[in-house]
């Protein structure tokens, strides 16, 4: 198979079109349009940085104009129009892309040596977290106690073992994000 050579201008035009930056703000903010935009763009990065507003909110505002954030939350977390996954960073992803991300999920289950080592040392914690979720339904990290030996939390990556377990279960596709609160 030979590579097709395209001009720099054609490549730039392709990316502008895929990001929906080539059209006026005329589309209604509907579940169908949101899903189509996220699929075309390859995902919508979630970002907790908040200068004017969260980056994902600004991205949607720049494509759709003013919209109701509660409607976005409903579309994502109740209607399940999109799902959260680690697609280069935490992103909202179109369900039509789930099969493609299945390979990454499988890789987290079998090929990630860092996780393999953690799982060997913490299989009881992983099993306990899964069992609690089966019994009680959707849970966040705050539902699990921090072991006394760990002391107080020290920052973003000073996670308690249950938080690591939840993160692994999400990356491996065994759990999904059910809702976001205080984000």
pLDDT per residue over 86-145, tens digit each?
A: 988 899 999 999 999 998 898 887 766 677 788 888 889 999 999 999 999 999 988 998
Question: Is residue 30 a contact partner of residue 42, using CB atoms and an 8 Å limit?
Answer: no
pTM above 0.75, yes or no: yes
Q: What pLDDT, on the 0 to 100 scale, is given for residue 110?
A: 76
Return the minimum-mean-pLDDT range out of 14-23, 27-36, 63-72, 138-147: 138-147
Closest CA to 156 of 145, 141, 175, 143: 141
Domain ranges of the chain: 8-96, 112-171
**How far apart are the C-alpha atoms of 133 and 131, rounded to whole Å?**
5
Using pLDDT thresholds of 50, 70 and 90, give the confidence band for residue 180: confident
How many H helices and E strands in the chain? 7, 3
Helix (H) or strand (E) holding 44: strand 44-45
């Amino acid at each position: 198979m030979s590579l097709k050579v395209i001009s720099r201008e054609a490549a730039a035009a392709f990316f502008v079109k895929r990001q929906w930056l080539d059209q006026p703000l005329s589309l209604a903010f509907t579940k169908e349009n949101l899903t189509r935009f996220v699929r075309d763009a390859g995902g919508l990065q979630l970002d907790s940085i908040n200068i004017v507003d969260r980056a994902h909110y600004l991205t949607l505002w720049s494509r759709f104009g003013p919209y109701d954030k509660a409607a976005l939350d409903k579309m994502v977390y109740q209607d399940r129009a999109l799902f959260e996954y680690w697609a280069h960073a935490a992103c909202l992803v179109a369900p039509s892309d789930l099969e493609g991300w299945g390979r990454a999920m499988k890789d987290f289950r079998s090929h990630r040596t860092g996780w393999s080592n953690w799982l060997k040392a913490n299989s009881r914690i992983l099993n306990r977290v899964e069992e609690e979720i089966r019994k009680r339904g959707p849970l966040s990290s705050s539902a699990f106690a921090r072991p006394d030996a760990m002391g107080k939390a020290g920052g973003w990556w000073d996670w308690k073992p249950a938080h690591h377990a939840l993160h692994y279960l999400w990356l491996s596709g065994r759990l999904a994000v059910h809702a976001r609160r205080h984000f």
